[in-house]
Amino acid sequence: MQGKVTIGVSVLAALLVFSCSASRKGKTVSISDNLNVNEYRILDLSKKNNLLEKGFVLKNARLNITSANYSGNLSLIAKVNDRGDFMAIGKGPVGIEVFRIYGVGDSIWVIDRLNRKIYEGRANKVYEKYGLPSDFWRMIIGDIPASTVLNTETNYVKNSDIDANSNDDVYDRDLIIDKDALKARELNIYSHELGVDITFKYNDFKTENGNVYPGNVIVDSKSPVFHVEMNIDNITCQVQDSIKKKLPDYRTVGL
């Protein structure tokens, strides 16, 4: 994959893309509800405070990307429904669309507007090729995986945080959960098998219509090396309608 489509894939790998597996419905929990409860209760409330299971629309997030393939600014519009299908649009500094990504069912399409190409592939193959976990959208907004458990060795990092982890056959995830926001404050995801080591840091938590989300997300990767900072002004939840892909008459290439 060459040229400007590298931008789309870098954002895909660095930042964004997706959860194809639908989980149980989330329940919004007020931040004040977590006062005077123990760490196990806070962890449970944080899982119920997830946004991904409801679906969400992310409008005009601002990205600053530094990597070997691309450095510059992009704006991002994303829509993820409650079944995990999604559409993401990346625009350059003057508002010109650079790429559009659809994830519907078990397939992914990356539309490279500048080179007039469509890259198409099966979701599981794309994940495997680029070392991506299937719930990448969850990491973007600081949601807590259902399999997360408390780290009993450290119990908590400090009074305002608790320490937890979520591991599977491929990825190990270490999380620091903010007790007040009921969201991840920091996430490190790594895989010795795939050589993946990415850190997410979440700041400036905001609450809108009972939904809590980070206003600032910083992503750092050691392999491949990249740094991304994303600022989010607004997230709208409860997205249940289907994602309808619209593909231009470009040449199609395997992803």
User: pLDDT digit of tens for each residue in the chain (255 aa)?
Assistant: 444 444 444 445 444 332 222 233 334 444 444 444 588 889 999 999 999 989 999 988 999 988 887 788 999 999 999 888 999 999 988 889 999 999 998 899 999 998 999 999 998 888 777 767 778 888 889 999 999 999 877 654 567 789 999 988 888 999 999 999 999 999 998 887 767 788 999 999 999 888 899 999 999 987 778 899 999 998 988 888 899 999 999 999 987
Please, is 50 exposed, middle or buried when counting C-beta atoms within 10 Å of its C-beta (0-12, 13-18, 19+)? buried
Closest CA to 13 of 93, 112, 110, 92: 110
Q: Two tokens at 156?
A: 């908590």
* Domain parsing of the chain, residue ranges: 5-247
What does pTM read for this prediction? 0.80
On whether the CB atoms of residues 81 and 239 are closer than 8 A, the answer is yes
Which CATH code for domain 5-247?
A: 2.50.20.10
The whole-angstrom separation of Cα 137 and Cα 153 is 29
